[in-house]
Structure 1
Amino acid sequence: MLRAWRAPPLARARAGAARGWARPAASEAAAESREDSRYRDTVLLPRSRFPAQLPGRLQPETELKTQQILKDITNRFHVMRGYKVHYVPGWDCHGLPIELKALSEVKGAETLSPMEIRQRARAFAERAIEKQKSAFIRWGVMADWENCYLTFDPKYEANQLKVFYKMYDKGLIYRDYKPVYWSPSTKTALAEAELEYNEQHISRSVYVKFPLLKSPPKLTSVIATGQRFILAADRVESTAAVLDAQFEVISTCKGADLADGSCAHPTIPGRVSPLLPANHVTMTKGTGLVHTAPAHGMEDYSVASHHQLPTDCLVDESGYFTEAAGPELKNKNVLEEGNEAVIKMLQAAGSLLKEEKYVHSYPYDWRTKKPMIIRASKQWFVNTADVKAAAQDALKKVKVIPTSAVNRMLEMLDRRTFWCISRQRCWGVPIPAFYQKSTGDCLINSETITDVIKIVEQQGTDAWWALPIEQLLSKEAVAKAGGRDVSDYVKGQDVLDIWFDSGTSWAHVLEGAEQRADTYLEGKDQLGGWFQSSLLTSVATRKKAPYKTLVVHGFTLGEKGEKMSKSVGNVVDPDVVINGGEDHTKDPPYGADVLRWWVAESNVFTEVLIGPVVLNAARDDINKLRNTLRFMLGNVEGFNPETDSIPPAEMYIVDQYMLHLLHEYGSKVTEAYNQYDYSKVVRLLQAFCSKSLSNFYFSMIKDRLYCEEAKDPKRRSCQTVLAEALDIVVRSFAPILPHLAEEVFQYIPYKKEGVFRTGWINASSAWKKPGTEEAIEGACAMRDSFLGSISGKNALEYEVIIVIEPGLLFELMEALQAEETSSVSQLNEIMMASQTTLLSEFPKETPSDANIVKGTFLINLEDEE
C-alpha cells in the first residue's frame, strides 16, 4: 500500500517492501474465553449513568435542568475563548405591522385617537416581547435578559433623534414633494424594502389616440390629410398585430424631430399634452410613445420636473380620485372602478384603440398583500446619492459572509438615489418638525431639536402627541427662526420609517461613539433593510460602517423546498419542535439541541429545509454522538487527571498519535467557528468521533481498558487520552449543543465546574508530533491489508507475521514492538491479532495455510511547517 508523507528536504526514505501472512492462532480457545461471561468480573467494563439516548418526553425536561448560562452559537464560542461579549438583545417595537395587528383586535379602530392607538400598539408589542423572550431562553440563547433594549425606550428614541438631526444638519435629510410607493390599504408611504412583488398581477393596458394639436415642423406635410399614426419604427409591426390592422410606412424621422409638437388630451377638453423626450421609454412593449402622469410615476416626475410641468396629485391617501380629477372620476378607486371609468371615457371620446389585460410583476404591500400605487406627496427623504459612495467604500472594508452577498448589497446601494423615511402613522418615533400654519414652512433647528430630545429622554415619544405644542416648542426657538408666536405652528404628524428606527440601533447599543460591532447577523432580506439602513446612518454621521463583519443567512423552507406560509399552514413552530405538539405521535418533542444541531449543520448561507425527516436525522446524529461520549465517560470512571495522568512522552505511541490528532482537530474546529462555518464544525465533529475515535482508537484500546489492572500505566495512558478527548470534544460542540455539553459535564466524575465557565479547547502544542504519524499510519496501512485479507473473520483468530526490509520503516515498527514476537505489544494492539511477529527478512519456511500480502509504504518526513 502506497502512502505519501511530508518530510524535511533531503530526508526522504525509499519505500520499504513489506510482506506478511496470517494463519489461525494456536490460542484461539483462549481468545474466545476472554469474552466468556464466566470471566466478566475479571475485566474492567465501562461504567457510567450517562444515558445513551433520552426518550423524546425526557429531552426537554433534561435540557431545562441544565439551563443556567446559555447563549447563541457565536457568542458562546467567544465567551468560552475568554472574550468579554457585549450582547444586548433587542426588539424593533414600532412600525405598521404591530400597529395593524393591535388595531385588528379592536372594533371601531378608525375612531381611536393617536394616543389610544399608541397605547394599544405598545401593549401588543410588550406581550409579544415577553412571549418571544421566553422562547429564546428556551432555545438556549444566553444573554442579559433583564437589560434588553427596546426601540420604544426613551433613551433609544432620543439617540435616534440625535442621529436624525445630525443627518439633517449636514443636508442629508430634506423634505420634498415627490412620487413615492404608497399603500392605499394602510394609507402610508412605504420603502422598497417593505414591498413584495406579485408576478401574476393583472393590469388594464390601453392603446390610446392623442390627437395632434401642433405638428412638429418636419412632419407637417406628411400628416396634413387623413388619419395618420406616429409610432416608433421598431414597433410598427407589433402594434399593427395588436390592433389587428395593416400599417403602411409613409415617412420616418428621428425622435428628436418630434420636439415642439403637442397633442390634445383625449378626455379633458382644452388640456394640452406636449411631446417630450424620455430615456425610460423602451422598445420592448407598446408603441414607443407613452402617456405621462407626473405625480404617479418616478420617471414621469423626473421628466415633468425637467420641463417644469405641473405635478399635481389627483389621487388621495386611500387610492381614490380627488375632485380635481373631474366629476366622472371623483371618489372612484384608481385600481378598481376608477380604471373602468377611464376606459369608458376613452371609448366615449373615440380615443380608445385597444384594451387588454396585462400580466406582469407589480409591487404589493408586504403586510396587507394588496397592490401599491405611486403617488406624489410631501415626504422626508435621505439623500442617499450624496452618501452612497462613502457607504460603498466602507462596505468594501467589511468582512461579508458569504462573500457573494457584498456585491448584491453594493448593487442595491448603487441603484438607490433617495430613501423615503417618513410614514403617515402614529406608532413610531415622530419626525420632530413644526410647520407654519399659513405657509407650511418647516421649522427644525438645533434649539427645537434639543428641547424635544430632552423631553423624549424623560417621557418618551408619547409626549409628542400628549403635550401641547407650547411645551414642545419654545418662544426662543420660534423667535430665532424669525417667527412671531408658537401658536402659529403645528406639530408634524409623520413618524420615521422603521428601517431608520432599527438602523440607528448602533447609536444606542455601542458603548462609544467610535465603536463598531464585531458582527451583524441577519437574513438576506436585510441586505436592503437593516444592514443597509445601519450602514447609511452610521456612514452619514460617523464616516464608518457600524459593523466589522456581516453574516447573511438564507430562509427556512419546508421539507420539500416549499415556502412556509401561515395561511397555508405549513410553518414549523420551534416551540412545537422542542416541546412537541398536542399529539406526540404526530409532533414528537425533539428538544432545543436537535433544533440547534439542525441550524448548525445546515448551510445557512442558502435556503435550508426543515421537517420530520430532517429533524429525525438530526436526533439520530446526536444519539450517535451520545454513544461516543458514553464510551469515554464509562472508561474514565475511577480516573483522576490530576493524579493519574501519564506524561505524553511515557505513553503508548498510538496514544501520543491520538493527542496529535486532538490538537489538529481543535485547531480546525476553532478556525471553522471563527469563519462562522458551523456546518463545517459539525462535519469535523462527526468525522473525528466516527473515524478517529470509534472506528480507530476505541477498537484498539479495549484490551488495555478492560484487561489491564486498574492502575496499570498502560491503562492509565489511554485513560489520559480519553479524558483529554472527552474534554475537547464536549467543548467543541458546546456552542451548538449547550444542553448536552452541560449534561455530559455533570457525569464526568472529576469535573467541578460547568463547561461554559472553564474556557475553550485547551490542546497543548506539545501534543503536535508529526513523527508519530509515520509509525501509526504505517502500522495501520499493514493492519488494513491484513484485515482485508481475512474479510468478515475475527482478527483474534490469526497470528500476523510482518516482514520489512531493513530501513526506516522497520525502525518505526520496532518502536512499536521491540521483541520479535508479542501478543501485548503496541504493534499487536494496532494489528488487532492474536500475536504479531516482526522480521527483517523472509523466513525460509511459510505455513501452507498462510495468506500472503505484499505492498509498499512510502515515508516522507517533510516538516509540516
Structure 2
Amino acid sequence: MDYKDTLLMPKTAFPMRGNLPNKEPKRQEYWDDTNLYEKVQERTKGRPLFILHDGPPYANGDLHIGHALNKILKDFITRYRSMSGYHAPYIPGWDTHGLPIETALTKNKKIKRKEMSIAEFRQKCAEYALGQIDSQRKQFKQLGVRGDWDNPYVTLTKDYEAAQIKVFGEMAKKGYIYKGLKPVYWSPSSESALAEAEIEYKDKRSPSIYVAFEVTDGKGLLDGGEKFIIWTTTPWTIPANLGISLHPELQYVVVKAHGEKYILAEELLASVTEELGWDSPEVVKTFTGKEADKVVARHPFYDRDSLVMLGEHVTTDAGTGCVHTAPGHGEDDFAVSRSYGIEPLSPVDDKGVFTAEAPGFEGLFYDTANKNITEKLEEVEALLKLSFITHSYPHDWRTKKPTIFRATSQWFASIKDFRQDILDEINRINWYPSWGETRLYNMVRDREDWCISRQRAWGVPIPVFYGEDQTPILTDETISHVSDLFREHGSNIWFEREAKDLLPEGFTSEHSPNGEFTKEMDIMDVWFDSGSSHEAVLTQREDHRRPADVYLEGSDQYRGWFNSSLSTAVAVTGKAPYENIISHGFALDGEGRKMSKSIGNVIVPSKVQKQLGADILRLWVSSVDYQADVRISDDILKQTSEAYRKIRNTFRFMLGNLADFDPARDRVPEAEMEEVDRYMLHRLQQVVKDVRANYEKYEYSPIFHQIHNFCTVDLSSFYLDFAKDVLYIEAKDNHRRRSIQTGYYEILTALVKLLTPIIPHTADELWEHIPGAEEESVQLTDMPEPRQVQQMDELEGKWDHFMQVRDDVLKALEEARNKKVIGKSLEAKVTIVPRDKETKAVLESLSYLQQLLIVSEANVTDSSPEAQAYRYVDVAVEKHPGEKCERCWVASDTVGEDSDHPGLCSRCAAVVKENYAN
C-alpha cells in the first residue's frame, strides 16, 4: 500500500500564484457585466447614509501615484461602510475648467486659439476634457475603485454649472460678492489673476537693493535733504512707488554717514551700518514714526512726491524700518495708501510688461527691467547697495513661473463678512490628522477677500451685466435667469449670445435708460467651480445629502478644495459641507525625494498594475502611514508583494484543508470544539475588534500589520503548522480534525471579509473557493462582528500562558538544532520541567502537548539534570530513539508493532486499518 494515498492532503483550485495583472482585468469586467456596484447599493438601500464626497481630480493627463493613493483610500472607506451597516454610494467627480486644458490645446494639440471664437474654443476644451475623463476613468477602475462610474459629476455639465451660478447668486444676495481694485496675485505667464490656492513657493534669485529717498518737506521735524533708506528685493516696483511707510511706535534716527544724513529705524542701525559699510555713523536726531507722519520725500528718478505714511505692518525683522510703498503692487501698501487717499499705480500690463505709466521702461518685461531700474538708481546716485539673495517666492502652480502682485479690477468674495462663522465650523469638525484643524483655522483667520475672477476663456462665466454707466447689474432675477439658461444650454451660451439676449425678457434698469447692456467676460476661479460641489452634487443627487460625512484629499487641499468648499457652503448655508476632514501626504520615492522624470524615480500606477497587480498597490496603500508623506519604490513594492504572498498562501493552506468540509454538515458546535480551536477563534475576535476599530478611525496601516501578523505568527507559525498532524493523518470525520476545520472556516471567512476593502480582487477570488459561500461576491456580505467565544473566560489565561511556555521550548529546540542534536523538530523528544505551579498545571492539562509543540514526544516532569533554564520552564532536548513512521513522520517506539503495517506507528496503523482496509 502506498501510504501517501491514505493521507488527507490539502486540495484546492485556488492557485498559489496570484497572477494579478492577468486576472484583475477579467474580474473588473465581470463586476461591470454583473452590475456589482448597483447590487451593493440595492442590498444596502434603507440603511443609514454614509457619504464620502469625492474631491474632483483635474481632467488632464494620466494618473500619477498621488491619484492612486487618494482614490484607493476613498475606496477603503466606502467599501468598509457598505459592509458595516451603511448605505455608502460613491459618486466620482472631475474638475474640468482652467488653464491646463487651454494650454494642452494650444501647445500640444496645436489649436489656433485666435482663429476661432471664444465659444468655438470652449467647445474644443470641453471635448478634450471629456476625452481625458474617459481615459482617467478607465485607469481608476483598473485600480479596483468601485463607484458609479457611468454617472460621475463633472464641473462642465449643464446642471453643475447651473448649481454653481446659484451658489454665486446666493453669495451676491447676501452682499458677499463685489468688484474692486486691489492688488492680487497676478501670473504674467497665465495672464490672469490667481487665488492663494493657486500659489506655490519656490526659491528664486532676486536683486537686493538699498535706495535713498530725499526729504523735500520735513513738516518742521526734518530740515530737508535727509534721505530715507528703503530696502527691497523687487527693484521693478520702484517706478510704482508713491510712499514710504514707518511704524508709528518705532524709534527712528537721523545719522551722519559718508557726508549724508540718512533716516532709518534705530533698532536696525547696527545691521544697516554693516550692510552699507558705514564707519562710525553719528546719530544726530531721534524721533518716533508718528512724528514723521506726512513728511514728504522725492521719488528717486521721477518728479513726484513719495509721502511718509504710518502703518502697523512695518517690522524690524529685516531691512531698514522704512518700507518702500507701491500701492499697486502689495496688499499692505494698498491698504495704508488707501487710508491716506492715495490711489494705486500699477504700470505693468497683463503680460508683466511696463506701460507708458513707467517712463523710461515702457515695453520691458518686469523681471528684465530690474537691471535697468537698478542702473537708473545708480545713475541718480540713489542706489546705496546692490546684492543678490535667494529666497522663497510665490509661483504660479500651473506654469511654475513667478507671480507678481498687481492692482487690477477684480471680482471678490468677501470672506471677512462671515469669517467667524467659518472659524466656528472649523472648531466643530473632526480632523484626521488633528493638526489639520489648526492649519485651516490659521489660513481662514488670516485670509483676506477671495479673488474669484480670472481672465481666461475656459471656465464658468461670472454672470454679471453692466449698465450704460458701467454699473454692475447682479440681481435675483438676472441670476435665476442665467442659471436656467445654463441648465438648458450650458455656459457656452454666455459667449454665443449678446448681453441683451441673456437677460430676462423685458428687463430694464435705471443704469441703462437706452436699454443697452454689456456682460462680464471674466470667468470664475476654478476653486469656485469645485467648491460649489456641495450644492451641485450633495443636494442634487437622490442618494446624497449635505453635509457629507467625509472629504478626503491631499494635504495641499487645505488651501484648495477644503477651503473653497467651506467658504461657499458657510456663505450659503451657514454650515460646513462636511463632518470629517481626512488628509493624506505626498508620495515620495524610497529615499524620501520628490518624484521627478529627470531623476527617473517616478512610480506610475498603470505600470505597477501591469507588473504586480492593483491589489499589490492597494496593499501598499494600506501599509503606510498615509497622513504623512509616504514612500514608494520598486523595493518597497517588492516587500509588499512578499507580504501579499504570505497572506495569500496562508489562505490557500486553509482552503486546501477545507476541501472535504461542508459547513452545513461538518461544522462542530462551538461548545464542542477543542480548546485550542476555541482559543484561536478567540484570538480572531481580537483581530476583528481591532481591525474594525481602525477602519472606523480611518487608520489602515494597523489593519495591514494586524492581519499580516495574525497570518504569519498565530496561524502559519502555530495553528496551521501543528494542525497538519491532525488534518493529514487522522480519519476524515475525526472530531479533532473537524474541530480544526471549523476553526479554519471561521477564521478564513472573517479574514477575507476584513480584507475585502483593501484587496477586493483577491477577496472575491477567495470567496469563490470558500465552501458554503452563498453570495456571488464577498462584497455583498457584512463585516464580521467581534463576539465572545464560548467557555473562553477560564481558558484564555491558560492558553496565553501556554504560548509563552511554547516560546521557551522553541528556543530550546533551536539551540539543539544549532548543536546538531536534532534536525527537524519531529526528531526531538523534549523533557519539560515547569518552574511554577501555574505552568505545571497548564502543561499537564494538555492531552496533545507533543502535537502542539511539533515534537515526537513531550514529557512534563518535576526535575531533569540535563534541562536548560528558560523563563517559565527548564527544557532538555534529545533525539527521539524511536523509528520514524512512514506515514506521519513522527518518531515512535510503536513503529513495527503492527505486523500488517510494520512501517507505521500504532496511531497510523489504526487509522489505515479502519479507513483504508480495502
Give the TM-score range, shorter chain: 0.7 to 0.9
Looking at structure 2, the residues matched to 260 and 806 of structure 1 have their Cα atoms a distance apart, in angstroms, of 92
Maintained 8 Å contact 2:689/2:785 = no
Looking at structure 2, the residues matched to 180 and 552 of structure 1 have their Cα atoms a distance apart, in angstroms, of 28
* 1:446 aligned partner: 476
Query: Matches of residues 198-217 of structure 1 in structure 2 within 5 Å?
Result: 198-199=202-203, 201-217=204-220
Verify: 1:254 aligned to 2:257, yes or no: no
CA offset at residue 807 of structure 1? 7.6
Verify: 1:320 aligned to 2:353, yes or no: yes
Verify: 1:502 aligned to 2:525, yes or no: no
Maintained 8 Å contact 1:787/1:795 = no
CA offset at residue 763 of structure 1? 4.9
Maintained 8 Å contact 2:172/2:474 = no
Q: 1:498 to 1:453 in 2, by over 3 A?
A: same
Looking at structure 2, the residues matched to 180 and 209 of structure 1 have their Cα atoms a distance apart, in angstroms, of 28
* 1:466 aligned partner: 496
Structure 2 counterpart of 1:722, one-letter code:
Y
Looking at structure 2, the residues matched to 361 and 809 of structure 1 have their Cα atoms a distance apart, in angstroms, of 66
* 1:93 aligned partner: 96
After superposition, the C-alpha distances for 1:638-687 in whole angstroms (9 at most, x for unaligned) are 11111110001111100111111111111111111111111111011111
Maintained 8 Å contact 2:832/2:873 = no
Looking at structure 1, the residues matched to 454 and 105 of structure 2 have their Cα atoms a distance apart, in angstroms, of 18
Query: Matches of residues 660-671 of structure 1 in structure 2 within 5 Å?
Result: 660-671=682-693
CA offset at residue 341 of structure 1? 3.1
CA offset at residue 856 of structure 1? 7.6
* 2:412 aligned partner: 381
Q: 1:316 to 1:57 in 2, by over 3 A?
A: closer
SS in 2 for 1:478: coil
Structure 1 counterpart of 2:15, one-letter code:
P
Maintained 8 Å contact 1:63/1:591 = no
Verify: 1:334 aligned to 2:366, yes or no: yes
Looking at structure 1, the residues matched to 128 and 613 of structure 2 have their Cα atoms a distance apart, in angstroms, of 29
Q: 1:725 to 1:222 in 2, by over 3 A?
A: same
Verify: 1:40 aligned to 2:74, yes or no: no
Looking at structure 2, the residues matched to 494 and 852 of structure 1 have their Cα atoms a distance apart, in angstroms, of 83
- TM, length-normalised to structure 1: 0.87
Maintained 8 Å contact 1:659/1:767 = no
Looking at structure 2, the residues matched to 778 and 350 of structure 1 have their Cα atoms a distance apart, in angstroms, of 88
Verify: 1:561 aligned to 2:585, yes or no: no
Maintained 8 Å contact 1:205/1:357 = yes
Verify: 1:152 aligned to 2:156, yes or no: yes
CA offset at residue 116 of structure 1? 2.4
CA offset at residue 742 of structure 1? 1.1
Verify: 1:142 aligned to 2:173, yes or no: no
Equivalent position to 1:570, from 595, 601, 613: 601
Structure 2 counterpart of 1:725, one-letter code:
I
Equivalent position to 1:726, from 737, 748, 759: 748
Maintained 8 Å contact 2:10/2:653 = yes
After superposition, the C-alpha distances for 1:743-793 in whole angstroms (9 at most, x for unaligned) are 112222432422111222255444582322123233334433334334324
Verify: 1:390 aligned to 2:430, yes or no: no
CA offset at residue 113 of structure 1? 2.4
Q: 1:486 to 1:699 in 2, by over 3 A?
A: same
Maintained 8 Å contact 2:831/2:864 = no
CA offset at residue 806 of structure 1? 11
CA offset at residue 492 of structure 1? 0.2
SS in 2 for 1:323: coil
Maintained 8 Å contact 1:779/1:830 = no
Deviating more after overlay: 667-676 vs 100-109: 100-109
Q: 1:473 to 1:807 in 2, by over 3 A?
A: same
Q: 1:763 to 1:347 in 2, by over 3 A?
A: closer
CA offset at residue 795 of structure 1? 4.6
Verify: 1:265 aligned to 2:299, yes or no: yes
Structure 2 counterpart of 1:206, one-letter code:
I
Maintained 8 Å contact 2:209/2:384 = yes
Q: 1:426 to 1:348 in 2, by over 3 A?
A: same
Maintained 8 Å contact 1:172/1:382 = yes
Indicate the percent of aligned positions where both proteins have the same amino acid. 36
CA offset at residue 386 of structure 1? 2.1
SS in 1 for 2:300: coil
Looking at structure 2, the residues matched to 233 and 808 of structure 1 have their Cα atoms a distance apart, in angstroms, of 80
Structure 1 counterpart of 2:633, one-letter code:
G
CA offset at residue 115 of structure 1? 1.3
Looking at structure 1, the residues matched to 343 and 805 of structure 2 have their Cα atoms a distance apart, in angstroms, of 90
* 1:9 aligned partner: none
CA offset at residue 277 of structure 1? 1.6
Deviating more after overlay: 108-117 vs 741-750: 108-117
Maintained 8 Å contact 1:67/1:140 = no
Structure 1 counterpart of 2:113, one-letter code:
A
* 1:683 aligned partner: 705
After superposition, the C-alpha distances for 1:285-309 in whole angstroms (9 at most, x for unaligned) are 3332232111111111011101111
Looking at structure 1, the residues matched to 212 and 638 of structure 2 have their Cα atoms a distance apart, in angstroms, of 65
* 2:52 aligned partner: none
* 1:80 aligned partner: 83
SS in 1 for 2:402: coil
Query: Matches of residues 429-440 of structure 1 in structure 2 within 5 Å?
Result: 429-437=460-468, 439-440=469-470
* 1:4 aligned partner: none
Structure 2 counterpart of 1:669, one-letter code:
V
Looking at structure 1, the residues matched to 406 and 607 of structure 2 have their Cα atoms a distance apart, in angstroms, of 44
After superposition, the C-alpha distances for 1:336-376 in whole angstroms (9 at most, x for unaligned) are 1x333323333343333333323222111111121111111
SS in 1 for 2:262: coil
Q: 1:230 to 1:45 in 2, by over 3 A?
A: same
* 1:191 aligned partner: 195
SS in 2 for 1:181: strand
CA offset at residue 38 of structure 1? 4.8
* 1:777 aligned partner: 800
Gaps of 5+ in 1: 1-36, 580-588, 818-824, 858-865
* 1:283 aligned partner: 316
Structure 1 counterpart of 2:428, one-letter code:
K
Verify: 1:236 aligned to 2:269, yes or no: yes
Structure 1 counterpart of 2:353, one-letter code:
Y
* 1:11 aligned partner: none
Q: 1:38 to 1:514 in 2, by over 3 A?
A: closer
Q: 1:47 to 1:788 in 2, by over 3 A?
A: same
Q: 1:510 to 1:221 in 2, by over 3 A?
A: closer
Looking at structure 1, the residues matched to 607 and 871 of structure 2 have their Cα atoms a distance apart, in angstroms, of 59
SS in 2 for 1:229: strand
Q: 1:260 to 1:784 in 2, by over 3 A?
A: closer
Looking at structure 1, the residues matched to 97 and 556 of structure 2 have their Cα atoms a distance apart, in angstroms, of 19
Looking at structure 1, the residues matched to 829 and 324 of structure 2 have their Cα atoms a distance apart, in angstroms, of 95
Maintained 8 Å contact 1:179/1:376 = yes
* 2:182 aligned partner: 178
CA offset at residue 63 of structure 1? 5.3
SS in 1 for 2:283: coil
After superposition, the C-alpha distances for 1:405-425 in whole angstroms (9 at most, x for unaligned) are 211111111110211111111
CA offset at residue 804 of structure 1? 7.0
CA RMSD of aligned residues (A): 2.7
Q: 1:268 to 1:806 in 2, by over 3 A?
A: closer
CA offset at residue 40 of structure 1? 1.6
CA offset at residue 260 of structure 1? 3.2
SS in 2 for 1:217: coil
CA offset at residue 379 of structure 1? 0.9
Maintained 8 Å contact 1:475/1:486 = no
SS in 2 for 1:81: coil
Looking at structure 2, the residues matched to 416 and 173 of structure 1 have their Cα atoms a distance apart, in angstroms, of 16
* 1:33 aligned partner: none
Structure 1 counterpart of 2:549, one-letter code:
D
